[in-house]
Amino acid sequence: MDNYRKEITDWQKTLDTNLRKENNWLALAGLFWLEEGINTFGAGATNDVVFPGDSIPEEIGRFIVEDGKVKMEVTADTLVDVDGVPAKEAFLQPDLSGAPTQLKWGALSFILIQREDGFGIRLWDNSRPEREIFPGRQWFPIQEEFCIEGIYERYESEKLVSFQRKNGADFEAQVEGMVSFPLGGEKYSLLAFEDSDGDLFIMFQDATNGTETYGSGRYLSVGAPEDGKAIIDFNRAVNPPCAFTDFATCPLPPIQNTLSLPITAGERKAPL
C-alpha cells in the first residue's frame, strides 16, 4: 500500500507541474470562433478577433475561412512566426490534424482548432499570472477500495453515442466498449473509448459533482485490459481542462455514464 500511495502521489505532483507549464491550460488567454470569410485580428476593439496585450498592433492581419480551409494573412509590418519561421501568410493546419500550425507573436502563441461548429483560434499568453498563483490541484485521500478490478466488454461494432461539449455544441462519437465493476455492493457500467494501444478513456459523473468535485464530471484513463479485465482506479480521476479555464471545449460525460453513488476519490474541485 505504501508503494501504491507513493506512485499516486508522485503522479499527482507531475500533473500539477504540467498544468503550470508554458502553453498549458493555465496559460490560455482566449478562444475566438471564426466566421466564414475574413476575420481581422489584433489589439483594436473593432477587430473580429481581439488579442490582449499593450504591445500588440491595432491590426496584425486576418484569418480567411473559405471552402473548409483557413488562411492567415499578415498586414502588420512585423511578421508572424509560423512553425518557427517568420511568414507573411500561411494556410493553417487545425489541431484535429494532429500537427496544428504553431503561430507566435511576441509572448502570444496561438493555433487553429476545429470543432463541430467550425474553426476557432486558441490563444496562450505565457505571462499570465495564473501560472504562478494557482494554488495547486486538490485531491481526496488515496483510498485503495476505489481501485477496482472490472470487466471490459468490447462491442462487436462501435456504438454511436451522443455527447455535448462545455461550450454547448452537440456531437456524436463512436464508443468502443463498456467497463463493468462492483462498488458498494452494486454493479455499475461505464462507456469507454479505446485508443490504438488498447488503453481506455472514460468520462463520468457521480453524486459528488457540483459539491465536492467539478460540476461537469471527471475523466479517467485506464490501462489496456488483460484477458478482459480492467483496473478501474478512481484515485486517478481528474478534472477536465474546462475546470481550469473558460477557454476549453471539453467533451462532457454522456448521460449513460452517470453514477448514482459518490466517488470520493481522485481530484476535487479546482481551487479557482
Q: Among the three residues 133, 158, 188, which one is the final residue of a domain in this structure?
A: 133
Q: Which amino acid is at 40?
A: T
Instruction: Please tell me the predicted confidence (pLDDT) of residue 1.
Output: 66
Instruction: Please tell me the predicted confidence (pLDDT) of residue 39.
Output: 98
Number of Cβ within 10 Å of residue 5's Cβ equals: 13
Which parts of the chain fold into alpha helices (H)?
2-19, 130-133
Q: What is the CATH number of the domain that holds 126?
A: 2.60.200.20
Buried b (16+ CB within 10 A) or exposed e, 209-225: beeebbebbbbbebeeb
Q: Which amino acid is at 139?
A: W
Three cell numbers at 44? 483594436
> What is d(CA 89, CA 95) in angstroms, rounded to the nearest whole number?
19
Q: Which residue has the cell 462492483?
A: 182
Q: Are 236 and 266 in contact (CB under 8 A)?
A: yes
The tens digit of pLDDT for each residue in 58-114 reads 999 999 999 999 999 999 998 999 999 999 999 999 999 999 999 999 889 999 999
Instruction: Please tell me the predicted confidence (pLDDT) of residue 53.
Output: 78
* Residue at 269 is within a domain: no
Pair 105, 149 in one domain? no
Q: Among the three residues 92, 117, 133, which one is the final residue of a domain in this structure?
A: 133
The tens digit of pLDDT for each residue in 38-50 reads 999 999 999 999 9
Q: Are 220 and 192 in contact (CB under 8 A)?
A: no
Instruction: Please tell me the predicted confidence (pLDDT) of residue 248.
Output: 94
Regions of the chain where pLDDT drops below 70: 1, 271-272
Instruction: Please tell me the predicted confidence (pLDDT) of residue 158.
Output: 85
Instruction: Please tell me the predicted confidence (pLDDT) of residue 13.
Output: 97
User: Which of 60, 51, 55 lies closest to 30 in space, CA to CA?
Assistant: 51
* Strand ranges of the sheet holding 186-194, from the earlier edge strand across to the other edge: 218-222, 200-204, 186-194, 170-183, 147-164, 229-233
Pair 84, 170 in one domain? no
Q: Among the three residues 108, 133, 158, which one is the final residue of a domain in this structure?
A: 133
What residue numbers bound the domain in which 81 lies?
Answer: 25-133
> What is d(CA 116, CA 196) in angstroms, rounded to the nearest whole number?
23
Instruction: Please tell me the predicted confidence (pLDDT) of residue 116.
Output: 87
Pair 65, 174 in one domain? no
